[in-house]
Amino acid sequence: MVSFLAWKNLRRSASRTVLLIAGVSIAGALLFNMSMLAEGLETSFEAVLGRLGYEVRVVLRGTLPFEAEALMPAAAQTAVSIAAHPSVAWAAPVLATNIYVLTPHDRATAFALGLKPELAGVVSITHGIPGRGLIINPELAHALQIGPGDVVRLATSVNPQIGTAERTSVATVDALGEYVFDLRSQRTLALPFEELAALLELRQGQASFIVVKLKDGAGPDAVVQWIETTFPALDAFSIPDLVSRVRGQLTYFNHFAAILSAVSVLVAVLLIGAVLTLAVGERLGEAAALRALGLRRRRLVLLVFLEGAVVAVVSAPLALLLGAALSQPLDAILRSSPGLPQDLHFFVLTPQAAIRTVILLLLTATIGGLYPAWVAGRLNIATTLHQEIQ
């Protein structure tokens, strides 16, 4: 009976209920968005790292994990040693640098990766067949109007005095592909590790960093510790390490999400609380009559809470839908920031975010219903009936 009455009470002032649901839905949508934002970047970053196909990244001690400026001496030999560890499936050195790509008519700079065959997973081929030549990304293909089969010249530098390319070699474009960690509008190419090493005139197995793939079931922590102990000049980072380093830089978004979540909850609590308080105030006579007819105090309190809960339950799917819709443009705005990997998202729709939003909305309805429920609960039947008749 109480749920029937709660439903009827909400339908009684349809426009008020619609406004209430609209307000709670928008506040809930914002709450959902902030829930997505709070962990979205980290989740997305973790997902992108996971797609790279390795678990540990080894860099020269003292350098930053994503910088590739300093060259690690004897990296090829070190990779072989690391690969000998029983938990390691393979270890591969990677070269990363900026080079010039020249066509007869044009010139562009590109981020070049020298990859061993084990790292084929960092690029998804869209056209062509990879071989000993270049795999270029669509941005580079578009900039120079080149594609599979075209021949280009690669240069490590251009003389600023006379504008001529220095240390050049000729390469054929084998394929077009999307790189997992490409920055937005970044031009990227990959070529075999040895080819890039030759172009850079590196003859002692130097590399920018080493990536390590672990055997199934092996934990990264032990391997990271082993690498750092065995090779004191190197730092090793597991994916959780990298994520936790990035987490420190996400303070702004986490705090922003926390503040706006608190504001959304407050708005929803105030809205539900104010509407229910006024609604209870309007219906004191009816409530007293219901009590006189035999409705228990607890049932009357439950009725008020239920009205709030119905609003939350009706608003929750609307909030999730609206939040999901709003997260798209908001994500697009933030993703237009310069220097971000193109697969990185700020708003990631996860079941946890949705569940958290629904729970918070129900909690909001409960908190919002506390005061009106207290008013209903302490209602004196005789006095109220008497006042209503005056």
Partner 1 sequence: MQVPRPRLILLAVLVLSLVPTATAGRSPDQPLFEIGLSRRTAERLGLSVGDVIEVSADPSMAQSRRARVTMVWSPPEHPADVARGDLVIRFHLPDLQSLLQQPDTVDRIVVRLLDPTRASWLRDDLNALGRGYDAYTAADLARITSRTFRVITQFHRAIALITLLASGIFLITIMALKFTEMRKEIGALRIVGIAKETIAFTVLGIAAGAAIAGTAVGLALGAVLAWGINAYYQPLFHTHLRFAVITPQALWIVAALAVLLGLAAGAAVSVRLLRQHPLEQVGR
Partner 2 sequence: MILMNEPIVQITEATRTYHLDGTAISALRGVTMEVRQEEFISIAGPSGSGKSTLLHLMGGVDLPTTGEVRLFGNVTHRLTDRTLSNLRLLRVGFIFQRFFLLPMLTVEENVLLPMLEAGLQAQRRGERLEDLLSYVGLAHRRRHLPGQLSGGEMQRAAIARALANRPHLLLADEPTGEVDQQTGQQIGRLLQRINGEGVAIVLVTHNPELAALASTRLTMRDGLLS
Contact residues for partner 1, defined by CB under 8 A: 13, 15-16, 19-20, 22-23, 26-27, 29-30, 33, 60-64, 67, 69-70, 97-100, 107-109, 111, 157-163, 233, 249, 251-252, 255, 259-260, 263-264, 267, 270-271, 274-275, 278, 281-282, 326, 329-330, 333-334, 336-339
Say what angle helices 14-51 and 239-248 make with each other, to 10 degrees.
130
- Under the binding rule (CB under 8 A), the answer on residue 215 touching partner 2 is no
What is the smallest separation between the CB atom of 79 and partner 1, expressed in angstroms?
19
**Window of 179-187, 189-197, 336-344, 375-383 that interacts with partner 2 by CB under 8 A:** 375-383
Give the separation between CA 262 and CA 270, rounded to whole angstroms.
Answer: 12
Residues paired with residue 98 on neighbouring β-strands, in sequence order: 111
Give the separation between CA 339 and CA 310, rounded to whole angstroms.
Answer: 45
Residues in 281-340 that interact with partner 2 by CB under 8 A: 285-286, 288-299
Identify the three-state secondary structure at position 106.
coil
Instruction: Give the Cα-Cα-Cα angle 113, 115, 118 (nearest 5 degrees).
Output: 145
What is the smallest separation between the CB atom of 299 and partner 2, expressed in angstroms?
8
- Under the binding rule (CB under 8 A), the answer on residue 106 touching partner 2 is no
Nearer to partner 2, 132 or 386 (CB): 386
355's contact among partner 1, partner 2, none, with CB below 5 to 8 A by partner kind, is none
Burial of 59 (0-12, 13-18, 19+ CB in 10 A): buried
Query: Nearest-CA neighbor of 322 among 7, 24, 8?
Result: 24
Nearer to partner 2, 52 or 385 (CB): 385
From the list 164, 172, 383, 387, which residue makes contact with partner 2 (rule: CB under 8 A)?
383
Alpha helices in 184-283 (DSSP H): 193-199, 220-230, 239-248, 251-282
Greatest alpha-carbon span in the chain: 101
Nearer to partner 2, 292 or 325 (CB): 292
Q: What is the identity of the amino acid at 327? A: S
**Which residues, in sequence order, are CB contacts of 125 under 8 Å at separation 6+?**
135, 175, 176, 177
15's contact among partner 1, partner 2, none, with CB below 5 to 8 A by partner kind, is partner 1
- Under the binding rule (CB under 8 A), the answer on residue 12 touching partner 2 is yes
What is the smallest separation between the CB atom of 267 and partner 1, expressed in angstroms?
6
Nearer to partner 2, 153 or 283 (CB): 283
Nearer to partner 2, 244 or 383 (CB): 383
Give the separation between CA 268 and CA 346, rounded to whole angstroms.
Answer: 24
Nearer to partner 1, 216 or 251 (CB): 251
8 Å CB contact between 135 and 125: yes
What is the smallest separation between the CB atom of 306 and partner 2, expressed in angstroms?
14
- Under the binding rule (CB under 8 A), the answer on residue 387 touching partner 2 is no
Q: Give, for 98, the enclosing helix (H) or strand (E).
A: strand 88-102
- Under the binding rule (CB under 8 A), the answer on residue 129 touching partner 2 is no
Give the separation between CA 1 and CA 53, rounded to whole angstroms.
Answer: 58
Residues in 131-160 that interact with partner 2 by CB under 8 A: none
Give the separation between CA 145 and CA 149, rounded to whole angstroms.
Answer: 12
161's contact among partner 1, partner 2, none, with CB below 5 to 8 A by partner kind, is partner 1
What is the smallest separation between the CB atom of 384 and partner 2, expressed in angstroms?
10
Say what angle helices 251-282 and 284-292 make with each other, to 10 degrees.
70
Give backbone dihedrals phi and psi of 378, rounded to 5 degrees, phi first: -95, 10
Nearer to partner 1, 87 or 109 (CB): 109
26's contact among partner 1, partner 2, none, with CB below 5 to 8 A by partner kind, is partner 1
Residues paired with residue 90 on neighbouring β-strands, in sequence order: 213
Q: Give, for 229, the enclosing helix (H) or strand (E).
A: helix 220-230
What is the smallest separation between the CB atom of 143 and partner 1, expressed in angstroms?
9
From the list 157, 278, 386, 387, which residue makes contact with partner 2 (rule: CB under 8 A)?
386
DSSP tag of 85:
S
What is the smallest separation between the CB atom of 280 and partner 2, expressed in angstroms?
14
8 Å CB contact between 110 and 188: yes
Which spans of this chain sit near partner 2 (rule: CB under 8 A)?
1, 4-5, 8-9, 11-12, 285-286, 288-299, 380-383, 385-386, 388-389
